[in-house]
Amino acid sequence: MNWVRWPALGLAMLGVGVIVGLGPPAPAQPSSNDAETLLHTATTAATHLSYSGVLTVEWSDRGQMHQAETSARIVDGVVEVGEGAQTALSRGGQRWVGSAGNWALMLGPDVPAATPPRPDANWNLQTQPGPVIAGQPTTDVVVSDRRTGTARARYFIDRTTGALLRREVLDPSGHLVREVSFDQLVALGSVAPPPPPSHARRAEPSKLGSVPGGYDAPSTLGRGYRLLGRYRQPDGTVQVFYGDGLFTLSLFEQRGTLDWGSVPSGATRRVDGVAARLVATPTTSAVVWDARGVVITCVSDAPPDQVMLAVQSLVDNASSSSVAHDIAHFVLGPFGWN
């Protein structure tokens, strides 16, 4: 714990009295306008805490709830999530996925994204007392739609450490879409963090100043998503990354036509006449469609309806300049015929 960063912590400890759990305590119960500070604390808690636990992941797929368990170990800023063949390892700005002897570096430290908007730029934030999760009392940060006032996400944050213990994403009716929650939590003492992989396949993207012609990368998307970065994956896929302050979204664009038979099962959606498939994953929604010779896969941790709004805005943007019109203009233009 960084005591310089958290000078109020000592006073909070006196107020709380007995501290149980992961380590040094955090400030006392905040007021509602502290929601943004709490969210920030939650995103950085892993950098100064050491704990491990069992995570339950729940998600809804076409009306059916699914559940799975995984594990997490956090030691001095190094985060290891999962086990076996598909483990994710976070260390500084680097991210690896894989397992011993078969790691892939998914993100290097030298391709950062722009700073996202503030969490309250597009959402209303409030706090209220939350339940006890994995033995820890929490504060519930409620994220609401500004138009409807409906809760769309909830972040349950450990009152004593600031660690995020549960994250819920909700549909427009307030029903659970997906959840990641600690079930068990163990404070780790003085242990060494997981070492970085000694060998890893290079799979990290490179940064692009602009996307090549034919790819879409509007500066804004949906309700408040702002373009934060453009990248090219090693296989040529163009990734465009967006954030709205709370949720993030990536467009993965590949030239070609979609092999629908290879798309994982999901719900069919039509966006302005364009067929798309909405695929539920444990922690994200993916929407796949093709248009104008480019296959686009949109992946986001936002509620599915918000992802579809982003897709809608992209399709609307793209349809304003159809490829046929572009070709006609290109062919006829040089001869003064249009």
User: Under rule CB under 8 A, which residues in 3-62 are in contact with other proteins?
Assistant: 42-43, 45-46, 55, 57
164 contributes a contact to other proteins by CB under 8 A: yes
For other proteins, the closer of residues 13 and 44 by Cβ is 44
Among 50, 144, 300, 306, binds other proteins (CB under 8 A): 300
Question: Closest distance between other proteins and the C-beta of residue 190, in Å?
Answer: 21
Residue 276 Cβ vs other proteins, minimum distance, rounded to whole Å: 11
Q: Is 142 in the site for other proteins (CB under 8 A)?
A: no
At which residue do the structure tokens 């090549």 appear?
212
Among 142, 249, 271, 278, binds other proteins (CB under 8 A): 249
Q: Residue from 279, 310, 314, 315 that binds other proteins (CB under 8 A)?
A: 279
Spatial distance between the Cα atoms of 277 and 129, rounded to a whole number of angstroms: 38
Q: Among 175, 256, 273, 320, which residue interacts with other proteins (rule: CB under 8 A)? A: 256
Distance CA 79, CA 95 (A): 9
Report yes or no: 94 and 197 within 8 Å, Cβ to Cβ: no
Quote the tokens at residue 4.
């310089």
| Pairing verdict, β 103-107 and 200-202 | parallel
CB of 33 to other proteins, least distance (A): 21
Region near other proteins per CB under 8 A, out of 14-22, 138-146, 184-192, 328-336: 328-336
Rounded to the nearest angstrom, the gap between the alpha carbon of residue 159 and the centroid of all alpha carbons in its chain is 23
* Stretch of 3-11, 77-85, 219-227, 311-319 contacting other proteins, by CB under 8 A: 77-85
- Name the DSSP letter for residue 112: P
Cα dihedral 41, 225, 289, 148 sign: positive
Quick one: which segment of 11-19, 27-35, 193-201, 293-301 binds other proteins (CB under 8 A)?
Answer: 293-301
Of residues 60, 150, 220, 283, which one binds other proteins by CB under 8 A? Answer: 283
Choose the binding region for other proteins from 24-32, 139-147, 244-252, 305-313 (rule: CB under 8 A): 244-252
Q: What is the largest CA-CA distance in the chain?
A: 82
Provide the token pair at 130.
Answer: 């939350």
Give which of 19, 276, 50, 214 is closest to 136, Cα–Cα.
19
In the complex, the smallest distance separating the C-beta of residue 74 from other proteins, rounded to whole angstroms, is: 7
Tell which residue, 309, 167, 157, has the closest CA to residue 224. 309
Q: Kindly identify the residues of this chain, within the stretch 82-141, that bind other proteins according to CB under 8 A.
A: 82-88, 90, 93, 95, 97, 106-107, 112-113, 116
Regarding 268 and contact with other proteins (CB under 8 A), the answer is: no
Among 144, 238, 290, 314, binds other proteins (CB under 8 A): 290
For other proteins, the closer of residues 10 and 272 by Cβ is 272
Contact, 9 vs 27, CB < 8 A? yes
Q: By CB under 8 A, what part of segment 180-239 binds other proteins?
A: 180, 205, 229, 233, 237, 239
- Output phi, psi for 318, to 5 deg: -70, -35
CB-based contact 232:241 (threshold 8 Å): no
Distance CA 211, CA 296 (A): 14
Instruction: Return the residue of 70, 127, 138, 144 that touches other proteins, per CB under 8 A.
Output: 70
Q: Which residues contact 267 (CB under 8 A, 6 or more apart)?
A: 62, 277, 278
